[in-house]
Amino acid sequence: MQHDLQLVIGLVILGFTIPAIVAAYSEGQTPRVAALVFLIGGGLVAWAVLQKPQGYTLDDIPQAFVRVIGHYIW
């Protein structure tokens, strides 16, 4: 479960950084904070993939979201 949580948090963080990077470039600024957050999200995803013994496939990602959400809602 811990690896699923790391994967989900990392993917959500990565999802939020894409608009931040685009917004920074469109305003003519350097996306320093967005790049740092991107590295944090990518690090969480990489850590989750490397720590899970059998790894993750693309089919496992939606199931990981469901497991994490189900764990904290139920």
pTM over 0.75: yes
The pair of three-digit structure tokens given for residue 27, joined into one six-digit string: 């305003």
Is 64:33 a contact under the CB 8 Å cutoff?
Answer: no
Owning domain of residue 18: 2-73
What is the domain count for the chain?
1
What is residue 7's DSSP assignment?
H
Q: What is the pLDDT of residue 74?
A: 83
Tens of pLDDT along the chain (74 residues)? 789 999 999 999 999 999 999 999 999 999 999 999 999 999 999 999 999 988 899 999 999 999 999 999 98
- DSSP conformation letters of 14-72: HHHHHHHHHHHHHTT---HHHHHHHHHHHHHHHHHHHHSTT---TTHHHHHHHHHHHHH
The one-letter code for the residue type at 47 is W
